[in-house]
Amino acid sequence: MSLPPPARTRRVDLVRSRAELPEDVRAALDSYERHLASERGLSPHTVRAYLGDVVGLVVHVAAGDSADATVESIDLAALRSWLAAQLAAGASRTTMARRAAAARTFTAWATRAGLLAEDPGPRLSAPRPHRTLPAVLRQDQAEAAMTVADFAAENGDPVALRDQAVVELLYATGVRVAELCGLDLDDVDYSLRVIRVLGKGSRERAVPFGVPAERAVRRWVERGRSALVSADASKALFLGVQGRRLDSRTARRVVHDVVGAVPGTAPLGPHGLRHSAATHLLEGGADLRTVQELLGHATLATTQLYTHVTVERLKAIHDRTHPRS
């Protein structure tokens, strides 16, 4: 069985295909890109994904010949044919759902922009993605992971101090890793113990954190940060070893290493700590609306996924311990 091309190769192909599109289509995509980035405030990664899907769509409509692509040719039949080709190529339900959403977003914008006479998007159906339960730590495992980070930081090594502050703040707040890496020094209010976070869609929110996270962040800022800081990252809260703002990849490695040091834990990254924080909040009695606000979810439906995690955990305990389970 042939393997799919690497992601980098696919990106290069999409960039090449976009460059080969007719000038009017390229102009439409440029306007759409500005709409996604400026008006909707989507992240660069999301903008690239949406544009890549639209490029694939218009090339498909042109029967694979980029030079013949037009926006006006996108109708319901074309959308269905494009999704059918994705399915035949082995795309997963999650990928199909995302690409259908990207197509609907584009056709809605194109209709408003006068590029399509009628929006075919609302009539396009796609399989719903599977909602898998996220991997989470038990509360005792989370406590053990924080202990591991604390023990490593006892010698005052700047990187170890940073790593402890990273895992403590991620678990305490449940913020996304990109949100954590984007924090500046003045985004932390120690008197109120809250951080100011700029989330998806440029939505700002305040997220509280506890005493252990405060202690770890203070220790990093006062004793570790000055050893790494450079002029390129004078405002960034967390830094890499080169003195620049901490990147998400390094933060993922930090979490993976700390959690991996706890026996019996599954491989987990920053998103796993976010899942764990949400689950433990609900287990402790927090209501869904509060957890939604803390996590920065746009809809309550996303937050409700965590109720399934707690129910599944209760069922597992019942099956393991009740004599008549």
Residue type, 306: Y
Tokens at 62, concatenated: 């042109």
Nearest C-alpha neighbor of 178 from the set 190, 170, 168: 170
Cβ density class 167-198: b for 16+ within 10 Å, e for less: bbbbbbbbbbbbbbbbbbeebbeeeebbbebb
Q: What is the spatial order of strands in the sheet that 204-208 belongs to?
A: 188-189, 194-198, 204-208
Paired residues of 224 in beta bridges? none
DSSP-assigned beta bridge partners for residue 196: 206
Q: Where are the alpha helices (DSSP H) in 68-92?
A: 76-88
The answer to whether 102 touches 54, Cβ cutoff 8 Å, is: yes
DSSP 245: B
Q: Can you name the residues that pair with 206 across neighbouring β-strands?
A: 196
- Cα angle 179, 250, 10; round to 5: 85
- Phi and psi (nearest 5°) for 270? -55, -35
**Angstrom distance (rounded) from CA 248 to CA 178:** 6
Beta strands (DSSP E) in 164-264 are 188-189, 194-198, 204-208
Catalytic (active-site) positions = 176, 200, 271, 274, 297, 306
Q: Could you tell me which residues are beta bridge partners of residue 188?
A: 195
